[in-house]
Structure 1
Amino acid sequence: MTTPTDDEIRTRVLDAADRLYNARGIQAVGMDALRAEAGVPLKRIYRLFPAKDAIVEAVLDRRHRLWNSLVEEAVASTPAPRDRLLAIYDMLARWFDEDDFRGCVFINTFGELGTASPRVAEIVRAHKAEFQARVARLCAEAGAPEWLAPQLAILAEGAQTTAAIAGTNAAAGHARAAAEILIGTALSEERT
């Protein structure tokens, strides 16, 4: 039997941390629970991650990359610039239907640790700013005015929070309907 590599152990720890943090919250998950879930001795975990903060940051990094790939996939599969903006809300509806959906990990983490951890606050703000910049690029490609992007981003953020609380994907449909109205208004203003 071969000994798992550091990369394999790192993946197991981050998978376990992601599951536990998503289900219970970061502060509710101690290192012993993480050790048990990952099946990795604490000594090995601490060799790979010097502190729990490093695990939290690595989980957020993975979630950031996952979010970006979901947005890119949704946008790439939609040829019309206007429809690419709406594809974000369709992607949200699919995500909200997943069994393990508990809301936006960035919003949840900020709520738990944002005031106590400047590094977490920085990571969350950077993630949200990057999403807003992506929406702004999509708006520009559709020929929409600059004011539209922050409004569409806020709709997406609000849908995530509402879906987590309500336990349904209905918020994505409501956000999409509002986005269609905003986009229609913005594009008609640009033509006049």
Structure 2
Amino acid sequence: MPAAPSPPQALLDSTEQLVYRDGVHATGMDAIVKRSGISRKTIYQQYPNKQALVEAALERRHERWMGWFIAASAEGRNAAERLTAAFAALGQWFASPDFHGCAFLNTAGEIADPANGLRTLARRHKQDLQDHLHALLQADGHRDAALLARQIAMLVNGAIADALVFGTAGAADAARDAALALLPSPASLPPPQD
């Protein structure tokens, strides 16, 4: 039987789950206290305010999500196969009962101030996604890897939004097909370097 999460982990788990399901503004400290079982006093000893707590919870989600996506996109011999695997993983995520879209897009949509730490974290999450796609495409020898990475990142983000709004995992398949159509044919790639 797995061990119960430690109090700091339980606090971050509860905060992340509530914010992901209900949003930043709709998640009050009372709900976090109730779900985590950690007193308000203990929470404020670790985090000066709700914003700092939410940032810590979403920072952890960012690390976990990127690790998951990088692992999913590592399967395959070339960029097309790795992207196919990544979109298949997205489709499985979209079909999960606790899918509520992208926590970072959702949060950015709630926070008006572009300098707010939560918006900064959302921007970094999306940049890290794009940087990973760039590295994946560059490793496969694609010219214009930066432009392709931006376009494919937009397809990933669009698929997430589409799956949330329409409630269908098929958005991943449509985005995959569009992403693969962007890739040049193997004959047009430069020869591998020795």
TM-score, with length taken from structure 1:
0.89
Aligned to 2:134: 136
- Give unpaired runs (5+ residues) of structure 2: none
What whole-Å deviation, never above 9, does each CA across 1:96-144 have from its counterpart, x for those lacking one? 1111110000000000124276211211111111111110111111221
Matched positions, count: 186
CA distance in structure 2 between the partners assigned to 1:19 and 1:124 by the alignment: 17
How far did 1:76 drift? Answer: 2.5
Q: Is the 8 A contact 1:136 1:149 kept in 2?
A: yes
Query: 1:56/1:38 Cα in 2 relative to 1: closer, same or farther (>3 Å)?
Result: same
How far did 1:15 drift? Answer: 0.9
CA distance in structure 2 between the partners assigned to 1:46 and 1:88 by the alignment: 39
Structure with greater proportional helix content: 1
CA distance in structure 1 between the partners assigned to 2:134 and 2:57 by the alignment: 26
Spell out structure 1 runs of 4+ moving beyond 4 A. 186-189
Q: Is the 8 A contact 1:89 1:173 kept in 2?
A: yes
CA distance in structure 2 between the partners assigned to 1:114 and 1:91 by the alignment: 31
Percentage of identical aligned residues: 35
Q: Is the 8 A contact 2:75 2:81 kept in 1?
A: no
TM-score, with length taken from structure 2:
0.88
- Give unpaired runs (5+ residues) of structure 1: none
The secondary structure found in structure 1 opposite 2:44 is: helix
How far did 1:186 drift? Answer: 5.9
CA distance in structure 2 between the partners assigned to 1:162 and 1:188 by the alignment: 33
Aligned to 2:66: 68
How far did 1:25 drift? Answer: 0.9
Moved more, 169-178 or 83-92: 83-92
Give yes or no for the alignment of 1:166 onto 2:166: yes
What whole-Å deviation, never above 9, does each CA across 1:40-60 have from its counterpart, x for those lacking one? 111111111111011111111
What RMSD in Å do the two structures reach over aligned CA positions?
2.0
Q: Is the 8 A contact 2:114 2:120 kept in 1?
A: no
